[in-house]
Chains A and B, each alone.
Chain A
Amino acid sequence: MRRKEISASSTSKSPSQSEHSALNSKSVLTILLLAALTALPYLSSEYVVQVIVLPVLILGLAGLGLNILTGYTGQISLGSGGFMAVGAYATYALAVHGGITFFPLAILFAGLITGFTGWLFGLPSIRIKGFYVMVTSLAAQFFFEWLFLKFPWFYNYGDVPTISLPPMSLFGFEIDSSYIVKYYFTLAVVVFLTWIASNLINSHIGRNWMAIRDMDTAAGVIGIDSKKYKSLAFSVSAFFLGTAGALWGLIFLGTTSVGSFQIDRSFQILFIIIIGGMSSIRGNYIGAAFIFLLPLVIDYFAKTFIGETVSPGLLSNFQKFLFGVMIIIFLIKEPEGLDRLVRQFILKLKVGRA
């Protein structure tokens, strides 16, 4: 009996459906989605691009990073915020102290640096099994929160420990020039890294990760070097998180500090992958949309329908309560996350058509 799927694609393919048609509809949907995202700035307002789509893309990427470690390799991590901070501060340091003002290069190196720190903090974790791995990731989280406040070098000796996007270039454009430039750059990075993640996961590396997650003793018996693959998972996950952190702090926010990357951020990313669906790629983006946008939706409806009749303090707290309730409802309906719901929905469409 298969408790968790080894395959990353559709869980319950009906035997009558051919590989060919399943791939086709998936590719068609993907292409449509990419086309919509590419055309978005011209179809929609600045508000939708800047406040709705951009942060969801970045948080989805962060979720993907954590999913590689937690969803696919089974190592629970609460260090996501810390690694995102490394990415943001590393990009800043490379630009301001290292003179690398070509943004794609800076963010690439920042990702590699974060990958290295991920490997470093992974070293003690690879010997630990199960729940206790979380503790070393917590250590990483608090270490980085402390590090970037303590040493003024990281925020260029400013009065306040915040970093801002310095003037940096992007193929001739000034990266700070317009939200459209920022959006396309982020979209390109997100699509590219998602493609890489997808390839990784569908390769033998991904299968080995999942073997370690499902039954690491058995994996060891058949010859998978679990320490090496766990290390790899920590590094790759950190790379993704670092890139997402740089995008979040410097592209989305523009000015950031340790406050954007605290333990609540780690929890937020963890919730994104739980709600979105662990061991899925699409689920990260769905989860990010849910976690990030639902509070906005609740806010809109609360203001419109309840609005002036209750005190604002009560309203704010009520919104938080409602958000929690909705998470509980969704998880009861579908414990494996929203991705599962989407998958079943698409299957229903296919079955309906066939």
Chain B
Amino acid sequence: MRTNLRSITTAIALGVATLLPVKATYAEGMTQYVPLFVYRTGPYASSGSLWFAGERDYFTYINEVEGGVNGVKFAIEEFETEYNPDRAVEAYERSKSGKNGSPTAFIMTHSTPATYALMDRARDDKIPLFDPAGGPSESKNGLVFPYVFPLLLTFYGQGSVAVNFIADEFGGFENLRGKKIVTVYHDSGYGRASQPVMTELAKKYGFIDVQIPVAHPGSEQTAIWRQVRAEQPDYVVLRTWGVMTPVAIKTAKRFGIDTTKMLGDVWAGSRADMIPAGEAAVGYNAIAPYPGGSDFGVHAKLKKHVVDAGLTNLSNPDADFGAVFYNVGVVNAALAVEGMRVAMEKFGNRPLTGEEMRWGLEHMTIDDTRLEELGMMGLLQELKVTPTDHEGGGAARVQEWTGNGWNLVSDWLQVDDSIVDPLIEAKAAAYAAEQGITPRSID
């Protein structure tokens, strides 16, 4: 009986302790609090952990080598979400008010479903949601979505780039007529996100667009690929994520589908997915707004100051430094830092609020000169984000897996804005009407 009492009292004490303010060991005054919503457990952890490592390494580099952004260092806190939007909402509520005097300037959701779940709250709380190559495509329209940033490439854009690449493979858009393109997608907001564009493009170019869903987490896909083979596709597009990707490639190969005629989207093309797929993945293509590889200028800096100094967040730097998803993280962090620099020019060198960060991101231009300075030439495209255009880039390259690494097989492919922009405008207008938002006017 007494032990029961003791255990209850301990339990209550633990419970009460959560309600007390958290005391962390961060310096007061000149640190920017950055919450990171991560998933280091669950079926998406293998892809995600490289992404987070890239971000953390870049932030470490900025802290250690450059002394922070104009003197403001980063204080990172990770929140485990298991790629579950419910957990992301909890993490958001926990982290939105900032910490230790620093407001939360932006949130990297690392998850399109989480971005959808948090959009309305972020708008009310005025905190930008940072979701490069992700997020709702219509959020490119910054007048209706001031606080969502689908930087670099929206999903609609990815659909367009995919079709451009496939057309090239067949020798021109005229040759697309009558061909069958089967898209196998993760059955979620993320996977379905480019369907409207594929429908439009199918109408324009006369190809047959077949969409086949795979339920999360997709570790068993025999029935799916049997179906795909019955369709006899001319080309297969993968809009998958996490463990779903290598399983898809291996199962496809088993059913005799030519994996060299397969194109993965941005999130279905990393070394982490290719290695488990083994032989089947050789010749597989993937869209890459940020290619893999570690011979960019920024990698030399990271190698010297972070990896060799033992400060890296990667658990296996020899294998994963320069991996596609690692580079994703590096680029994401760099974009955040650039946005902060721009905002600080206007608001001063101190921790920023969400509104100030939004201003910074919306007035961010990264041209070739700056890319050279950052050491990201070829890794990141030129970017011009404005209040009306939260995407800023709209291009990607395609890379092919050789079995050991990635080979770039195309130049920067541009999104067909004539198809994509009207869809985005229509969706943005519908959202504004449904939610009763008046689009901002540009100041």
Partner-B contacts on A (CB < 8 A): 44, 47-48, 50-52, 55, 149, 159-162, 164, 166-167, 252-257, 259-260, 289, 293, 296-297, 299-301, 303-304, 311-313, 315-317, 319-320, 333-334, 341-342, 344-345, 348
Within 8 A of A (CB), among B11-42: 14-15, 17-19, 22-24, 38, 40-41
- Do A254 and B121 touch (CB < 8 A)? yes
Residues of A within 8 A of B15 (CB): 289, 293, 297
With A and B bound together, what is the CA distance between A303 and B89 in angstroms? 20
Question: Would you give 24 A-B contacts (Cβ < 8 Å), ordered by A?
Answer: A44-B19, A47-B93, A50-B93, A52-B18, A55-B90, A159-B189, A159-B192, A161-B188, A164-B120, A254-B89, A257-B189, A260-B85, A293-B18, A296-B18, A300-B17, A301-B14, A311-B315, A313-B40, A316-B40, A317-B40, A320-B41, A341-B8, A344-B1, A348-B1
With A and B bound together, what is the CA distance between A167 and B121 in angstroms? 15
Nearest A-chain residue to B79, judged by Cβ = A299
With A and B bound together, what is the CA distance between A166 and B120 in angstroms? 12
Nearest A-chain residue to B119, judged by Cβ = A255
Using a Cβ cutoff of 8 Å, how many contacts connect chains A and B? 124
> Within 8 Å of chain A (Cβ to Cβ): is B436?
yes
> Within 8 Å of chain A (Cβ to Cβ): is B193?
yes
Nearest B-chain residue to A303, judged by Cβ = B77
The proximity string for B residues 178-218 relative to A, scoring 1 for CB distances below 8 Å and 0 otherwise, is 00000000011100110110000000000000000101100
- Do A257 and B4 touch (CB < 8 A)? no
With A and B bound together, what is the CA distance between A293 and B94 in angstroms? 13
Q: How large is the interface on B (under 10, 10 to 19, 20 to 34, 35 or more residues)?
A: 35 or more
- Do B52 and A312 touch (CB < 8 A)? yes
> Within 8 Å of chain A (Cβ to Cβ): is B173?
no
- Do A159 and B120 touch (CB < 8 A)? no
Partner-A contacts on B (CB < 8 A): 1, 3-5, 7-8, 14-15, 17-19, 22-24, 38, 40-41, 45, 49, 52, 77-78, 80, 84-86, 89-90, 93-94, 97, 113, 116-121, 136-137, 187-189, 192-193, 195-196, 213, 215-216, 313, 315, 427, 434, 436
- Residue from B8, B40, B86, B315 whose CB has the most chain A CB atoms within 10 Å: B86
Given A254-B117, A312-B78, A345-B5: A160 and B315 within 8 A (CB)?
Answer: no
Q: In angstroms, how far is the closest chain A Cβ from the Cβ of B80?
A: 5
- Do B117 and A159 touch (CB < 8 A)? no
Q: In angstroms, how far is the closest chain B Cβ from the Cβ of A321?
A: 10
Interface of B is mostly: helix
- Do B40 and A159 touch (CB < 8 A)? no
With A and B bound together, what is the CA distance between A110 and B215 in angstroms? 27
Known: A255-B116, A312-B78, A345-B4. 4 other contacts (CB 8 A): A52-B18, A55-B90, A160-B116, A160-B189
Q: In angstroms, how far is the closest chain B Cβ from the Cβ of A60?
A: 15
Residues of B within 8 A of A253 (CB): 85-86, 89, 117
- Do A257 and B18 touch (CB < 8 A)? no
Residues of A within 8 A of B188 (CB): 160-161, 257, 259
- Do A300 and B22 touch (CB < 8 A)? yes
Nearest A-chain residue to B2, judged by Cβ = A348
- Do B4 and A255 touch (CB < 8 A)? no
Nearest A-chain residue to B116, judged by Cβ = A162
Residues of A within 8 A of B137 (CB): 159
Residues of B within 8 A of A316 (CB): 38, 40-41, 80
Nearest B-chain residue to A265, judged by Cβ = B86
Closest 8 CB pairs of A and B: A160-B189, A313-B40, A316-B40, A51-B93, A255-B117, A316-B80, A316-B41, A260-B86
Residues of A within 8 A of B40 (CB): 312-313, 315-317
Q: In angstroms, how far is the closest chain A Cβ from the Cβ of B44?
A: 12
- Do A297 and B85 touch (CB < 8 A)? no
Given A160-B193, A334-B4: A313 and B315 within 8 A (CB)?
Answer: yes
- Do B192 and A160 touch (CB < 8 A)? yes
With A and B bound together, what is the CA distance between A124 and B116 in angstroms? 38
Residues of B within 8 A of A149 (CB): 187, 213, 215
Nearest A-chain residue to B94, judged by Cβ = A51
Residues of A within 8 A of B4 (CB): 333-334, 341, 344-345
- Do A259 and B121 touch (CB < 8 A)? no
- Do B192 and A304 touch (CB < 8 A)? no
With A and B bound together, what is the CA distance between A304 and B77 in angstroms? 11
With A and B bound together, what is the CA distance between A301 and B436 in angstroms? 42
Residues of B within 8 A of A317 (CB): 40-41
- Residue from B137, B189, B436 whose CB has the most chain A CB atoms within 10 Å: B189
Q: In angstroms, how far is the closest chain A Cβ from the Cβ of B123?
A: 11
Residues of A within 8 A of B436 (CB): 167
- Do A313 and B45 touch (CB < 8 A)? yes
Given A160-B136, A312-B52, A316-B80: A254 and B86 within 8 A (CB)?
Answer: no
